[in-house]
Amino acid sequence: MNIEKFLVPEGKKLNLKNHQTDFTGDYQDKNPAIKDLEKNIERLAELQDILYAQNNHALLIIFQAMDAAGKDSAIKHVMSGLNPQGCEVTSFKQPSSEELDHDYLWRSMKKLPERGRIGIFNRSYYEETLVVRVHPEILQFQQLSEKAKADKNIWQKRFEQIRNFETYLGENNIQVLKFFLNVSKEEQKKRFLKRINTPEKNWKFSAADVKERGFWDDYMNAYKDALQNTSTKDAPWFVVPADNKWFTRVVVSNIIINKMESLDLHYPQVGEAHLKSLLEAKKLLENES
């Protein structure tokens, strides 16, 4: 799979209309994709084991999307083979009063993965360039200076702050991957109706979800601006087609594998003293009566 097709190149203009939401590549149906995903899940488990043992890199995976684009299901299926000891998923909801008393990156910083681990953000600090931009009245509840609130360039400044933050993460061996699950408005409508018509899914739906559909174009403009201004070589954005969940999952898994395989992961080599202690332990165990 050519993952470059989904990459947002650094410094290039982005037109989301050029990214087909129903694209499925060489797959004619979902069955081959499901089989490939199963292989990828096994490979991810192998790579995670080495990542954990090496304890050198951490991996931060960020998912952003419109409601019902499939973030939850992508995380559930792609990460299904991972060892929970080395992985943590954080879903960022509406900020609490404590979080609003801090800067907008604070709550995300608290959840960054340790070296050797994988951290997954279901939504993230990017909400502060998306939801807050579409609904600028939210800024009034944030602890910003009056100068910052009145700054017409606030979004460009936030893009710069985020780029600097992600550069800092990379320099501290926290690798960053960012996925925008690109769902169509029509497919979102189908999924909303399914949630309404399926009692077991009613809890996932809120009337506010329909209200936000009225801001669809505003959100698309905000996403376009955020993605093209914060996709860098070391912290790239990928626009992943999301109308077919089975394709979304295989694309995401391929990109994560590609990133992890680029890190030169290997199991730690032990020194002579450790090897000697292993041999002594082996003798003791073998000589037990």
> Per-residue pLDDT tens for 147-195?
665 667 899 999 999 999 999 999 999 999 999 999 999 999 999 999 9
Give residue 148's pLDDT: 64
CB count within 10 Å of CB 77 equals 20
Q: Which residues lie below 8 Å from residue 171, measured CB to CB, with a gap of 6+?
A: none
- Residue 201: domain span: 3-286
Nearest to 156 by CA among 129, 177, 181, 136: 129
Give residue 201's pLDDT: 84
Separation of alpha carbons 60 and 235, rounded Å: 10
Give residue 118's pLDDT: 98
Stated as kind and residue range, the H or E segment containing 118 is strand 118-122
Give residue 150's pLDDT: 60
Separation of alpha carbons 262 and 3, rounded Å: 14
Give residue 207's pLDDT: 80
Number of domains in the chain: 1
Separation of alpha carbons 81 and 253, rounded Å: 11
- 238 in Cβ contact with 180 (< 8 Å): yes
Q: Which residues lie below 8 Å from residue 175, measured CB to CB, with a gap of 6+?
A: 57, 58, 59, 60, 234, 259, 263
CATH at 112: 3.40.50.300
Using CA atoms, how far residue 124 sits from 61, 130, 238, in Å, is 10, 10, 15
Give residue 145's pLDDT: 59
Low-confidence stretches of the chain (pLDDT beneath 50): none
What is this structure's pTM?
0.92
Full strand arrangement of the beta sheet holding 118-122: 87-91, 118-122, 58-65, 174-182, 237-241
Give residue 12's pLDDT: 93
